[in-house]
Structure 1
Amino acid sequence: MTNLNWDYSNCGRTGCGMQPHYFPPRTFPSQYDPPRISPTQQFVRTNQFNTIVPHIHPSHTTTVNKHMINHQHYFPHTESVVNERYENHTICGMQHHKRCCCPKHHNRWR
């Protein structure tokens, strides 16, 4: 019996087992499509100009020296004590020469 399985893995356009031959490329004139325009990109360039404006804020300090005078008023006061003593003499019996029983009062200062 004959093996009919052929190996076609090396077969290309030029035939089985042969290397292809390449010709130099031909250059054709360029063709132009209509332009494709992207949206405009926005860029910002900032220019800075420095200006100095002096602001003057004057100030003044006044020192006030206060001399406080404290008038102190004193009111000296003295006290004294007076001791009074009262004596009462009562005659509780009858004297021989008097008939009434009258109390006698004497005030003395000591």
Structure 2
Amino acid sequence: MPGQYCPPQPCPPQYCPPQVFPAQYDPPLVSPGQQYVKTNLFNKVVTHLHPSHTTTVNKLMVNHQHYFPHTESCVNECCETHTMCGVPHNPCCPSGPFGY
């Protein structure tokens, strides 16, 4: 319409490129050492299938770096059983009239 006043449109914001600063590192936090006992077992395997689905979600993350220095040792054990499946023959004992 002629003679109608239209205010000026606001300018869109201007975005500056982000400033990226160097990573800052805190002093390491050291937890008390833990001892582990590792036992090797030899077993039968039964397969169980558990289908799954993964959805990827991208997020901004803060990186807390944890270090786990580890040493390892080995102990070998042997377990034995003795099963008596009868009695041993005594050659000094004479057999009876029926062979026993």
TM-score (norm 2): 0.28
Which structure shows the higher strand fraction?
1
TM-score (norm 1): 0.27
Flag the structure with larger Rg: 1
Higher relative contact order (CA 8 A, sep 6+): 1
